[in-house]
Amino acid sequence: MTTIKTSGFNDPFDNLLPSPDTAIQRKRVNSRPGKITKITNLTHDTIEVTVTCDKNTPPFNAKAGQYGTLKVDGIDRPRAYSFAKAPVLEKKNQVTFFIRLIEGGELSDWFKQKKRTREKVIVSGPMGKFGLDKSNDTIVCIAGGSGMSAIKALVEQASHQSLARDCLFFYGARTQADLYCLEEMEAIKQQWHPDHSFTFIPVLSEESHDCDWQGPRGFVTEYLKSHYIDTRQLDINHIKAFFCGPPAMIDHGVTVLQDAGLPSEAIRYDKFEDIRSPAPVIDNRKCTLCDECLLVKPIDNCIVETSAFSHSRQTGITDIETVRPGRTSGLYYSTLLINNDQCIRCYACVDACPHNAISPANLAIPQVLKLIQL
Ligand SMILES: Cc1cc2nc3c(=O)[nH]c(=O)nc-3n(C[C@H](O)[C@H](O)[C@H](O)COP(=O)(O)OP(=O)(O)OC[C@H]3O[C@@H](n4cnc5c(N)ncnc54)[C@H](O)[C@@H]3O)c2cc1C
Ligand code: SF4
Ligand code: SF4
């Protein structure tokens, strides 16, 4: 059993120092105050939320496929949500999210408690590297649930730019009651490049057999495999795949495509990780203390900077001396640790690290760090 003791460095000048400017550490991610100006029910459990920021705030400059975080009063930590509209179609000071309200979720409950239009919020972003590539290959999109958001933004962007590419969009939902954005998909089809096609294929996994549904059934990734990969309807040599939604769906879909011979460079995804997913781990042997992860982290204390730590085998106590950014004068960090309890699993730090030192599956970490459960 390991005991963790976290002690801030005792700085004798603490009281004399000005208030810390913690935003300095997040300078690649802009935070903008705004208000929820519209909430629309998309299905029985999914809402569309529009946030309008002050007219004078600088534009988000997001790319289709990126995400931001939403922080509301009364809930400590923000949550990550994909931008659900192509930025070219969004008003400069607005962002739109599709949010699935889950049972027992903190932010989900916040939305369920009362009408939240006019509530003040903070939106931070843009984050993430998900987005269209520049090839002419067929675009194959696979989304599930609220994963519609980022894929909708991608195909809106492609349609707006009149990209000369075919596109198949496989969308997995449980029943017809879980389908939404059908009119938007039809509008994209009508506006698609005239020499190419856009096909939206909703696949239902739980629709009852005695109803009027004539469309595809089963799990979306299974359907893709049996009807398009195994039958060679899709030429695997000329596609690029874009996944968005639940991690399990994406993991299965990626396996299907890789088994069929699609190289991993041709597959991009945006996984909606949540608090059940593992927090990433920093391999301190690879870390060069370059600060990049600190510049994108969405909250102040998800990545803890420490100036020293020691572990005693006799007592089992690991003592971590933390550095408080902008507060602990003249002291710099020597080791970074991810705080499991604060991390919102946005994986922005994983994307940002130029040295591949942060990974959700990083097993090669020094033994003493394995002991640490902050
Ligand atoms: C990059 C990124 C983009 C995302 N984009 C979107 C998006 O566009 N739309 C969207 O709806 N979500 C998106 N998410 C997920 C989102 O960030 C939240 O995790 C989700 O909305 C749950 O928040 P909550 O506060 O309601 O639940 P939490 O309070 O965080 O979770 C509470 C409990 O609910 C359980 N739980 C959490 N998530 C789920 C789930 N999905 N199904 C079942 N049980 C769950 C957990 O076990 C936990 O104990 C994204 C996540 C990431 C990392
Ligand atoms: S994934 Fe990384 S950046 Fe995101 S909250 Fe966790 S530690 Fe912070
Ligand atoms: S981005 Fe990577 S290398 Fe740079 S400080 Fe963070 S973990 Fe270390």
Tens of pLDDT, residues 59-105: 888 999 999 999 999 999 999 999 999 999 999 899 999 999 999 99
Q: Which CATH class is domain 29-127?
A: mainly beta
Which ligand number lies closest to the CA of residue 294?
3
Cβ of 289 below 6 Å from ligand 3: yes
d(CA 281, CA 363): 8
Per DSSP bridges, beta strands 120-127 and 94-100 are unpaired
- Give the architecture (CATH level 2) of 138-271: 3-Layer(aba) Sandwich (3.40)
pLDDT at 12 over 90: no
Q: Which atom of ligand 1 is nearest to the CA of 80?
A: 17
* CATH number attached to the domain at 3-23+276-370: 3.30.70.20
Integer-rounded Cα Rg, in Å, for the chain is 23
Per-domain residue ranges for the chain?
3-23+276-370, 29-127, 138-271
Quote the tokens at residue 278. 């593992």
What integer pLDDT is reported at residue 374 of this predicted model? 41
pLDDT at 353 over 60: yes
User: Measured in angstroms, how far is the CA atom of residue 21 from the centroid of ligand 2?
Assistant: 19
User: Measured in angstroms, how far is the CA atom of residue 137 from the centroid of ligand 2?
Assistant: 33
User: Measured in angstroms, how far is the CA atom of residue 237 from the centroid of ligand 1?
Assistant: 34
Residue pair 235/241 in contact by the 8 Å Cβ criterion: no
> Using CA positions, which residue lies closest to atom 7 of ligand 1?
81
What integer pLDDT is reported at residue 364 of this predicted model? 42
Confidence of residue 373 (pLDDT cuts 50, 70, 90): very low
Which of the pair, 226 or 328, is modelled with greater confidence? 226
Tens of pLDDT, residues 225-270: 999 999 999 999 999 999 999 999 999 999 999 999 999 999 999 9
> Using CA positions, which residue lies closest to atom 38 of ligand 1?
274
d(CA 21, CA 25): 8
What integer pLDDT is reported at residue 10 of this predicted model? 58
CA distances from 356 to 282, 283, 285, 287 (A): 9, 9, 11, 8
Confidence of residue 112 (pLDDT cuts 50, 70, 90): very high
d(CA 98, CA 47): 6
What integer pLDDT is reported at residue 57 of this predicted model? 82
Within 8 A by CB and 6+ apart from 228, the residues are 168, 234
- Mean per-residue pLDDT for 120-143? 95
Instruction: Catalogue the E-assigned strands of the chain.
Output: 3-8, 30-41, 46-53, 67-72, 79-82, 94-100, 120-127, 138-144, 167-173, 198-204, 239-245, 267-271, 281-282, 303-311, 317-322, 335-338, 358-359
What integer pLDDT is reported at residue 317 of this predicted model? 73
Neighbours of 20 (CB within 10 A): 14
CA angle (74 as vertex; 71, 31 as ends), nearest 5: 20
Q: For all residues of the chain together, what is the average pLDDT?
A: 88
pLDDT at 371 over 60: no
Confidence of residue 22 (pLDDT cuts 50, 70, 90): low
What integer pLDDT is reported at residue 84 of this predicted model? 98
Closest by CA to 30, choosing from 54, 14, 47, is: 54
Tens of pLDDT, residues 257-314: 999 999 999 999 999 988 888 889 998 889 999 999 999 998 888 998 888 777 777 8
What integer pLDDT is reported at residue 368 of this predicted model? 41
What integer pLDDT is reported at residue 366 of this predicted model? 40
Cβ of 338 below 6 Å from ligand 3: no
Map residue 367 onto helix, strand or coil. helix
Tens of pLDDT, residues 166-182: 999 999 999 999 999 99
What integer pLDDT is reported at residue 31 of this predicted model? 87
Residue pair 179/206 in contact by the 8 Å Cβ criterion: no
